[in-house]
Amino acid sequence: MFNDFKSLTYLSGALPLALFGAMAASTPAAAVCQGPGAPTTTQTRCVTAIALPTPLQSWDISWVNPQRAEYYLGDRSNNAIDIIDTEHLTYKRSLGKGLFRGAVFNSGGTAIITSKSGPNGVVTHGRWVYAGDGDSTLKVFDLDSPPANAIKATVYTGGSTRVDEMALTSDGRYLLAANNAEDPTFATLFKANGDDATNSAAIIQQTKVDKTILPPGFGLSLEQPTWDPKTRRFYTSIPIIANNPTGCNYDGNAGPITCSGGLLVTDPAHPKAVEGAFDSTSNTGVVPLINCGPNGSTMADFDNLLLGCDSANLPGSTTTTVINAKTKNQASVQGIVGSDEVWFNEGDDRYYLAARNQAKPAGLTLGSASVLGVVDITSVLVETIPQSSPTHSVAADSKRNRIFVPQAFTSAGGVGTDKNTIPGTTPSQTVGQQLCGTSNGCIVVYEHDVDDHEDRVDHGDHGDHS
Measure the CA–CA gap between 1 and 392, rounded to whole angstroms: 12
For the segment 126-150, the average pLDDT, to the nearest whole number, is: 97
Q: Residue 105: is its pLDDT beyond 70?
A: yes
The DSSP annotation for 384-416 comes to EEE--TT----EEETTTTEEEEEE----SS-TT
pLDDT of amino acid 362: 87
Q: Residue 431: is its pLDDT beyond 70?
A: yes
| Superfamily of segment(s) 17-453 | YVTN repeat-like/Quinoprotein amine dehydrogenase (2.130.10.10)
Q: Residue 4: is its pLDDT beyond 90?
A: no
Name the DSSP letter for residue 458.
-
Is 323 within 8 Å of 238 (Cβ atoms)? no
Measure the CA–CA gap between 257 and 240, rounded to whole angstroms: 8
- 228 vs 16, residue with greater confidence: 228
The pLDDT tens digits for 216-231 are 999 999 999 999 999 9
The pLDDT tens digits for 344-386 are 999 999 999 999 999 888 889 999 999 999 999 999 999 999 9
pLDDT of amino acid 109: 87
Q: How confident is the model at residue 451 (pLDDT cuts 50, 70, 90)?
A: low
Residues of the chain with pLDDT > 70, as a percent, come to 90
Range name among 167-171, 246-250, 437-441, 456-460 with the lowest pLDDT average: 456-460
Q: Residue 80: is its pLDDT beyond 70?
A: yes
The DSSP annotation for 193-226 comes to -TT-SS---EEEEEEEE-TTTS-TTS------EE
Range name among 13-27, 130-144, 318-332 with the lowest pLDDT average: 13-27
Q: From the CB of residue 219, how many other CB atoms can be counted at a distance below 10 Å? A: 16
Q: Residue 310: is its pLDDT beyond 80?
A: yes
pTM of the model: 0.91
Q: Residue 19: is its pLDDT beyond 60?
A: no
Q: Distances in Å between the alpha carbon of 161 and those of 73, 103, 133, 213, 301? A: 20, 13, 8, 22, 34
Amino acid at the residue 361: P
Is 302 within 8 Å of 230 (Cβ atoms)? no
pLDDT of amino acid 361: 86
Measure the CA–CA gap between 381 and 145, rounded to whole angstroms: 42
Strand partners, 100: none
